[in-house]
Amino acid sequence: MIGLSWIPREINDLADTLAKSEPNLDELEWNQLKLFIELLREPVNSAEIVSKQKEEIENLKSTLSQKNQKIQNQATQINSLRTKKA
């Protein structure tokens, strides 16, 4: 097995030239497409997050309503006991 530990000067010059060159139209279109997809993906993720948060809010409202009802029932019982003692 032969290992190459050096890069020929011509290949290195070509790599430097390509690295410094402007992207061609295909690369620009590809990058724009990737950006467009990322921009589309963000609202989808945001919509899912908002949906989950709305569901959590509804659950919390339900729990709060139940606890308020329990408090109201206990207050009624306490008032009932006070009137019986008096």
51 inside domain: yes
Structural domain of 52: 25-85
Model confidence, pTM: 0.45
pLDDT at position 67: 94
Cα four-point dihedral sign 69, 70, 75, 79: positive
pLDDT at position 41: 76
Mean pLDDT, the chain cut into blocks of 10 residues (86 residues total):
62 72 73 82 76 92 94 92 80
6 inside domain: no
Cα separation, 45 vs 54, whole angstroms = 14
How many domains are there within the chain? 1
Token pair, residue 60, equals: 């919390």
